[in-house]
Amino acid sequence: MQRKTVFFSLLAILVSLSLILTSACSSKTSSTTTNTTPQVITLNLGGENNTIDPNRASWVGERTVLVQLFDGLLTFNADLTLAPMVAKEIPTVANGGISADGKTYTIKLRNDVTWSDGTKVTAKDFVFSIKRLFDPDLASEYASFYFNIVGGEDYYSATDKTAAEKTALKDAIGVKAVNDYTLEIKLTDSLPTFTQLLALWPVFPVRQDMVDAHGDAWAQPDANGAMPYYIGNGPFILKEWVQNDHYTLVRNDKYWGTKPKLTQIVFKEIADANVSLAAYKNNELDQSGVPGGTEQTTMDDPTLSPQIVRLPQLTTYAFQFNVTKPPFDNKTLRQALACAIDRAAYINEVRHGVGKVALSWIPPGMPGFDATLGTDWTFNVTKAKALLAQAGYPDGKGLPELKFQVANTGANPTIAAFLQGQLKDNLGINLTVDLMDPKAYSALYNAKEFNWGFTGWGADYPDPDDWLPQLYMTGAGNNKTGYSNPAFDALATQALKELDNTKRLKLWAQAQALVVADQPMIYIFNRETFVLQKSWVKNMVTCGLDGNIVGDTFLRDVYIQK
Partner 1 sequence: MGRFIVRRVLWLFLVLFVVLLITFVLMHLVPGGPWDREKALAPKVVEALNKRYGLDLPLWRQFVNYVWGVLHGDLGISYSYSDRTVTSILLHGLPKTATLGILAFVFAQAIGIPFGVAAALKQNSAIDYTSVLFSTIFASIPGFVLGILLMVIFSVVLHWLPTSGWGSPQQIIMPVICLAALPAAQSSRITRASTLEVMHQDYIRTARSKGILESTVRVRHIFRNSMIPVVTVAGPVLADLITGSFIIENLFAIPGVGRLFVQGIFSRDYTLIMGGVLFYALTIALLNLVVDILYAAIDPRIRYE
Which listed range, 23-31, 254-262, 299-307, 484-492, lies at the site for partner 1 (CB under 8 A)?
A: 23-31
Helix, strand, coil % in the chain, rounded to nearest 5? 35, 20, 45
Query: From the CB of 151, what's the least distance to partner 1, in Å?
Result: 14
Nearer to partner 1, 91 or 136 (CB): 136
Q: Does 279 bind partner 1 (CB under 8 A)?
A: yes
From residue 155, alpha-carbon distances to 166, 185, 298 in Å are 7, 16, 52
Q: Which of 1, 94, 164, 371 binds partner 1 (CB under 8 A)?
A: 1
Nearer to partner 1, 137 or 300 (CB): 137
Q: Does 24 bind partner 1 (CB under 8 A)?
A: yes
311-332: string of b/e by CB count within 10 Å (b at 16+)? ebbbbbbbbbbbbeeebbebbb
Q: Rule CB under 8 A: which of 246-275 touch partner 1?
A: 246, 268-272, 274-275
Q: Does 278 bind partner 1 (CB under 8 A)?
A: yes
Nearer to partner 1, 328 or 457 (CB): 457
- The 8 Å CB, 24+ separation contacts for 436-444 are 436/405, 436/406, 436/407, 436/408, 437/407, 437/408, 438/407, 438/408, 438/409, 441/405, 441/406, 441/407, 441/408, 442/407, 444/405
Nearer to partner 1, 5 or 382 (CB): 5
Length of the chain: 562
Q: Where are the beta strands (DSSP E) in 252-314?
A: 264-268, 287-289, 308-312
Contact flags string 363-402 toward partner 1, x per CB under 8 A: ----------------------------------------
HSE (side-chain half, CA atoms, 13 Å) at 90 = 17
From residue 100, alpha-carbon distances to 65, 177, 195, 500 in Å are 37, 21, 15, 11
Q: Which of 99, 102, 114, 141 binds partner 1 (CB under 8 A)?
A: 141
Q: How far apart are CA 501 and CA 190, in angstroms?
A: 13
Contact flags string 33-72 toward partner 1, x per CB under 8 A: ---------------x-xx-x--x----------------
Residue 224 contacts residue 218 (beta carbons within 8 Å): no
From residue 409, alpha-carbon distances to 413, 441, 453 in Å are 7, 11, 14
Nearer to partner 1, 59 or 559 (CB): 59
Nearer to partner 1, 75 or 316 (CB): 316
Nearer to partner 1, 39 or 220 (CB): 220
Nearer to partner 1, 396 or 458 (CB): 458
Query: From the CB of 275, what's the least distance to partner 1, in Å?
Result: 5
Nearer to partner 1, 243 or 561 (CB): 243
Which listed range, 163-171, 375-383, 417-425, 433-441, lies at the site for partner 1 (CB under 8 A)?
A: 433-441
User: Phi, psi at residue 433, to the nearest 5°?
Assistant: -110, 135
Which letter does DSSP use for residue 474 in this model? T
Q: How far apart are CA 113 and CA 252, in angstroms?
A: 13
Task: Note the residues at the interface with partner 1 (CB under 8 A).
Answer: 1-2, 5, 9, 20-21, 23-25, 28, 48, 50-51, 53, 56, 136-137, 139-141, 143-144, 153, 156-157, 159, 216, 220, 242-246, 268-272, 274-275, 278-279, 281-284, 407, 437-446, 455-457, 477-478, 480
